[in-house]
Amino acid sequence: MNTSCDRRDFLKTAAAGVTAMSMTARSYARVIGANERIRIAQIGCGDRGRNAHMATIHKFDKEENVEFVAVADPWRVAREQAAALVKEWYGHEAKQFVSYRDLLEMKDLDAVMIASPDHAHTTHLEAAAKAKKHTYIEKPMARKMDALVRAVDAVKSAGIVVQVGTQSRSRPVTTGCRELWKSGILGKASRLEQCRNAEKPYWYRYVKDVKKEDLDWNEFTMGATKRPFDPVFYSGWYGYLEFTDGPICGMGSHFIGLLNYITGAEFPTSCVCNGGIFTWKDEHHFSCPDHVEALWVYPEGFMAVFSINYGNSGGNRCRFFCEKGQLNLDNWNAPTYSAEGGPKRDGSIRGVNEVKPIETPDHFQNWLQCMRTGKPTRAPIEAGYQHSIACLMAVESFNTGRRTTYDHATRTIRRA
């Protein structure tokens, strides 16, 4: 992918963009009344759309007074399965669309949830913003810098409430880690790392038989490829670079979102990334790397490291190393902190301590509530922009073999 954009084009939008990124919750103009029903549509009705988006919202539909009214997906099977859920839950027929364009023309629609493939995220987000629909958008939020800037600016201009799908930010233990970090007990950070390994890449589990006549291939590809339809190419899209940038974005965006939320850091200054396909070479000819490692340097004075090994499931870990100890998130459900390894440990931390969780609303419920209050969500558009920048820097480095840098003033990623 190409993340390098013409400097003059970015300078034209830089001033507006920097101002937009600093806007407060008062910019959210489309607050929904407390007694009004929130009408939602699902764009992308695959596993994530049905079993995460729709199923979780359904848990809160009575409490928050919401319902699904429409679905859109280029694959007939997924579209009809999502519509069947709407019929089962609410007793009415969902409007069904092949294209998101037709769905967004609905007048009696308040919000959309986007669980389309990665290559469609910014296109769908920008279109939803221009239609002034509150939006839940899956991560990674972007694949190209120019599309990212357009989508973010469209969101800010529309004043819609956006929640980005880095849901770890809404976990009670994550909020507890954030408060622990803010206390300063761990001291200055030096290295934050996560190794997220498995025996096999996640894209294999999505491969299935799909009939050509059930799919609008052009609507799905959106110009991302000229290759003809193939059931594996479609259903296993997570493994093909035409539709995604692979695990450094698909999984690494979670790490970056976690890092940003806990530490308060926003943008790295530089990045290097390398990897390749070393284990899984077979008849599917997947093009996404099954091994990859990215290293970012942050202006706060620490290095962040994310790595994937899909050739062996051993070695999983997530640690934040600091001068007075470390935060251990190996067990995401029960993170701990200790003075282990801290060169400036001063006795303020004794033994291994569990991080105290702080109750927070569910990530999806938080989005629903913010539509009524106008307050920023737990993962607002700024959070999506931040994780996208880090991911795009890594992708550019991976593709070119060069170190990348980021200039927030002009919103540009450059090769060093």
Q: Tokens 């009415």 map to which residue? A: 92
What amino acid occupies position 362?
Answer: D
Give kind and range of the element (H or E) at residue 17.
helix 7-21
Closest CA to 174 of 369, 300, 356: 356
Give 57-109 pLDDT, tens digit per residue: 999 999 999 999 999 999 999 999 999 999 999 999 999 999 999 999 999 99
- pLDDT at residue 35 in the model: 82
Give yes or no for a contact between 197 and 313, defined as CB atoms under 8 angstroms apart.
yes
Q: Nearest to residue 142, comparing CAs of 122, 167, 165?
A: 122
**The two structure tokens encoding residue 134:** 């509150």
pLDDT, position 33: 87
Peptide bond into 172 cis (omega under 30): no
Residue 34: predicted pLDDT: 82
Q: Is residue 71 within 8 Å of residue 84, measured between CB atoms?
A: no
The CATH code for residues 22-169+364-380 is 3.40.50.720
* pLDDT at residue 29 in the model: 53
The rounded distance, in Å, linking the Cα atoms of 320 and 279 is 29
Q: Which of 293, 264, 290 is nearest to 278 (CA)?
A: 290
Domain locations in the chain as residue ranges: 22-169+364-380, 171-359
CA–CA gap between residue 120 and residue 250 (Å, rounded): 14
Task: Give percent helix, percent strand, percent coil of the chain, each to the nearest 5.
Answer: 40, 20, 40
Tokens of 205: 């589990």
**DSSP assignment string, 145-168:** HHHHHHHHHHHHHHT--EEES-GG
Report the relative pairing of strands 317-322 and 302-309 from DSSP bridges.
unpaired
pLDDT tens, residue order, the chain (416 aa): 444 444 334 333 433 343 344 334 444 456 898 889 999 999 999 999 999 999 999 999 999 999 999 999 999 999 999 999 999 999 999 999 999 999 999 999 999 999 999 999 999 999 999 999 999 999 999 999 999 999 999 999 999 999 999 999 999 999 999 999 999 999 999 999 999 999 999 999 999 999 999 999 999 999 999 999 999 999 999 999 999 999 999 999 999 999 999 999 999 999 999 999 999 999 999 999 999 999 999 999 999 999 999 999 999 999 999 999 999 999 999 999 999 999 999 999 999 999 999 999 999 999 999 999 999 999 999 999 999 999 999 999 999 999 999 999 999 999 98
Strand partners, 25: none
Contact 73, 102 (CB under 8 A): no
d(CA 344, CA 337): 15
Tokens of 141: 């939020």
| Nearest Cα to Cα of residue 37 among 366, 367, 362, 372 | 372
CB atoms within 10 A of CB 324: 21
What is the CATH number that goes with domain 171-359? Answer: 3.30.360.10
Q: How far is CA 100 from CA 42, 117, 124, 140, in A?
A: 9, 13, 7, 19
